[in-house]
Structure 1
Amino acid sequence: MNRRRTRIGVFTATRAEYGLLRPVLAAMEQSATIQPLLIVAGAHLSARHGATLAEIEADGRRPAARIPAPLAGNDRVSAAIDMAETLAGCARAYVELRLDAVLILGDRTEALAAAAAAVPLNLPILHLEGGHRTEGAVDDAIRHAITKLAALHFTAAEPYRRRLLQMGEAPERVFTVGSTGIDNLKTFGRSTPADASAVTGLDLPEGFLLVTFHPETLGVLSPADQIGAFLGGLASVEDRVILITLPNADAGSDDMRKAIAAFASERPDRVRVAESLGARGYIAALTACAAVVGNSSSGLMEAPAAGVPVVNVGDRQAGRLRTPGVLDCALKPGAVAEAIGRALSPGFQIMARSQPAMFGDGQAGRRIVEILDKTNFEGLARKPFVDLDVG
């Protein structure tokens, strides 16, 4: 008699998160022991944020459950209300789908809600990308909170695994597998500007910049002032095309979107704006551009692995591991302009291409599923706390 396949819910609420989950989903779909059930929430279902469920369906995947949230406001209270709706919707979906576990990636408010919903149901949480530090965003606290709720952990680098052990997680439950973002680099390969133009449908000539700037949710400046300072520095680039991908649905992102729209309207010949490029389009743009500029996590992980220079602005990603190909600069117009100029210099471009990979070899999705194939999920939600020997 065939053994029942393990039913694992895979939660996603944003375009970037889904892109990082693609390699895991692909490996799960090839497994004889696992049945992945996609649970779609948040911005995927919001027309205002690009309705990126279409990207999921274009991959041939249909959600097993949809968890809508209001996404009506653009402030901290609205974010908390959205979390409450997501938590309630996830709890109902987990029961209806008869899950054995739920897989959650990262550190966003929606991810915390999805994890919290699993706790009273005694449902094991499988967490990807724990152990990072991002000192400029509330994501840092959320990520560590999910770590303490999760039963199994899959980290991108060995220092992150050690950090989880320091937090009391059992060594046999924490696995260094690499980042699935590197899997996407390996899957899609390197693109030329012509390739990137064809994939994205945008005119992206040689030497273009790829730009993403999200709110620093723990920043001293307001989101409007943050984006004003950033765009003030970006305005120094007068001889290149700039491709800007819009920020996530964080508190304050509406102010940023308005400022970006105004910036682009003043430079219609040089600035392209995209709500979402999709996983393939984003990797094509990232590998074809002259530099990545902003404060996205992809600037600390995927871009260095592709040998692309990075200008990392402000404190949102402070605390992450980084290679010398990442230039950190203050969130001030002059500092941003100076860092972009340095990143585009021939010497820095050559140095960035020669940096060793820090986040794996492009096999993270396969490793995660190989571990899950061998996992006994019975009673897995009951986890130990391992005290460090500090005597």
Structure 2
Amino acid sequence: MRSVGVVSVGRSDYSIYRPLLQRIAAHPDLELRLLVSGMHLEERYGSTVNLIEKDGFPVTARIPVLQKEDTAEAVAIAMGAGVSGFAQHFARQRPDLLVVLGDRFEMFAAALAAVPFNIPILHLHGGELTEGAMDDRFRHGLTKMSHLHGVATEVYRQRVIQLGEEPWRVECCGALSLDNMLSVPRLSRAEMETRFKLDLSTPPLLVTLHPTTSEYEQTAPQTDALMSALQTLGLPVIFTMPNADMAGSVIRERILAFCTTHPNARWVENFGPEGYFSILGEVSAMVGNSSSGLLEAPSYALPVVNIGNRQKGRLRAGNVIDVPQFEAADIVRAVKQALTPEFKARAAGFEHFFGDGHASERLLNLIVNTPLDERLLNKTFHDLPPS
């Protein structure tokens, strides 16, 4: 039996992983070992490890890393704690294959700890760009530490190969989050209103803002500009809370203050997969800088106003309006444009290019059938032909 260690560090990656976790857990020749860290283990972020266990996935290891602060020093210390914690776990219980996703610093720490143990690594969502976030460096670093790659599009596949990975190692599987569109049951509007104490009689804006970590010193004025725009618009708003990034507490504090003084504004710490994929069908537009606006929102024909540089470099579809700078007047204009019938028609009128909702099947095939042998472990740098 092949043991598969899957690293999950927060609600965002867990909701993506979920269809793959279900397939691994159900396979007779695989043993799922779920290694939980980061925001999952923190009460201030909703203790979402409880959601994992409620879904029926046993947690093999809990590896706390986050510090009380969200400064640059605290993030660096958390990375060190992650390397130490994951290394101690691997010394006790080494998986046959380790699965990591995306670009979080906690993921990077887990992969870094696995290197001396010579553990094969499968990395999901490599080749993407977020030039406004330090996550960009972690993602490309994870690519170079990994032995297999499940990417979302052919563009991203070519970029991973450009980073020197041999083509046979890189599989275009599609975006795992789209599998959720087929598998996660949707809650009715009445269920959403009751469970999360919301009023959805008028479709609200869904606002998700994370720090742009390459310019985190600007988090306060950037957040203030967004709040000023929302106040000018006067529309109902539902906020989701930011990740555990540098200066994330600045955004959190301003969200709570805005909701206190605006009766038509609400915040939700964690929707969970069912709640999140249900709320996407109830809102009028998404505003902020979440990757969800580029990955999941297109499947709902949901207009998105993407602000700033955090998602700079990612592929985007016709549902996205980019606002390059955090200027309140520009945000107001973009939201008004997003809510017009003409733009809503445009958002609905394109083909999704992030996959077909069957990524988990392709990834499971990689996990089950790839020989974990010397050929996989001994990487050769793949040079591109001279231009």
Q: Please state which band the TM-score falls in when normalised by the shorter chain.
A: over 0.9
Following superposition, the deviation at residue 286 of structure 1 comes to 1.2
Give the match for residue 114 of structure 1.
110
TM value normalised by structure 1 = 0.95
For 1:33, which of 25, 29, 38 is the aligned residue? 29
Give the match for residue 334 of structure 1.
329
Following superposition, the deviation at residue 177 of structure 1 comes to 0.5
Following superposition, the deviation at residue 150 of structure 1 comes to 0.4
Give the match for residue 45 of structure 2.
49
The one-letter code matched in structure 2 to 1:301 is L
Following superposition, the deviation at residue 189 of structure 1 comes to 5.9
Q: Is the 8 A contact 1:10 1:102 kept in 2?
A: yes
Following superposition, the deviation at residue 190 of structure 1 comes to 6.1
Map 1:217-256 → 2, pairs under 5 A: 217-219=213-215, 221-238=217-234, 240-256=235-251
Does residue 1:288 correspond to 2:286, yes or no? no
Give the match for residue 146 of structure 1.
142
Following superposition, the deviation at residue 324 of structure 1 comes to 1.5
Q: State the distance in 2 between where 1:36 and 1:208 align.
A: 39
Q: Is the 8 A contact 2:187 2:274 kept in 1?
A: no
For 2:306, which of 309, 312, 316 is the aligned residue? 312
Pair 181,349 (structure 1): closer, same or farther in 2 beyond 3 Å: same
- Partner SS, residue 288 of structure 1: coil
Does residue 1:362 correspond to 2:353, yes or no? no
- Partner SS, residue 168 of structure 2: helix
Q: State the distance in 2 between where 1:288 and 1:68 align.
A: 35
Give the match for residue 321 of structure 1.
315
Give the match for residue 56 of structure 2.
60
The one-letter code matched in structure 2 to 1:157 is T
Query: Aligned residue pairs: how many?
Result: 385
The one-letter code matched in structure 2 to 1:9 is G
TM value normalised by structure 2 = 0.96
Q: Is the 8 A contact 1:100 1:123 kept in 2?
A: yes
Does residue 1:127 correspond to 2:123, yes or no? yes
Does residue 1:374 correspond to 2:376, yes or no? no
RMSD: 1.5
Q: State the distance in 2 between where 1:248 and 1:312 align.
A: 17
User: What runs of 5+ residues in structure 2 fail to find an aligned partner?
Assistant: none
Q: State the distance in 2 between where 1:369 and 1:130 align.
A: 17
Give the match for residue 88 of structure 2.
92
Following superposition, the deviation at residue 192 of structure 1 comes to 5.8
Q: State the distance in 1 between where 2:186 and 2:350 align.
A: 16
* CA deviation string 1:65-105 (max 9, x = no partner): 00012421110110010111111111111232231111000
- Partner SS, residue 7 of structure 1: strand
- Partner SS, residue 223 of structure 1: helix
* CA deviation string 1:324-356 (max 9, x = no partner): 110001211111111111101111112112221
Pair 159,70 (structure 1): closer, same or farther in 2 beyond 3 Å: closer
Following superposition, the deviation at residue 316 of structure 1 comes to 0.3
Following superposition, the deviation at residue 237 of structure 1 comes to 2.5
Q: State the distance in 1 between where 2:298 and 2:190 align.
A: 21
Q: State the distance in 2 between where 1:323 and 1:194 align.
A: 31
Q: State the distance in 2 between where 1:10 and 1:18 align.
A: 10
- Partner SS, residue 371 of structure 2: coil
Give the match for residue 270 of structure 2.
276
Q: Is the 8 A contact 1:233 1:336 kept in 2?
A: yes
* CA deviation string 1:155-210 (max 9, x = no partner): 01110001011111111110011111111122236666445335544332332111
The one-letter code matched in structure 2 to 1:132 is E
Does residue 1:21 correspond to 2:17, yes or no? yes
- Partner SS, residue 280 of structure 1: helix
* CA deviation string 1:294-332 (max 9, x = no partner): 100000110012211111011100100011110001211
Q: State the distance in 2 between where 1:237 and 1:295 align.
A: 18
After TM superposition, the structure 1 stretch with the greater mean CA deviation from structure 2, 175-184 or 90-99, is 90-99
Considering fraction of residues, name the structure with more helix. Answer: 2
Map 1:185-196 → 2, pairs under 5 A: 185-188=181-184, 193-194=189-190, 196=192
- Partner SS, residue 69 of structure 1: coil
- Partner SS, residue 242 of structure 2: coil
Q: Is the 8 A contact 1:305 1:358 kept in 2?
A: no
After TM superposition, the structure 1 stretch with the greater mean CA deviation from structure 2, 218-227 or 59-68, is 218-227
- Partner SS, residue 206 of structure 2: strand
Does residue 1:173 correspond to 2:169, yes or no? yes
Following superposition, the deviation at residue 220 of structure 1 comes to 6.9
User: What runs of 5+ residues in structure 1 fail to find an aligned partner?
Assistant: none
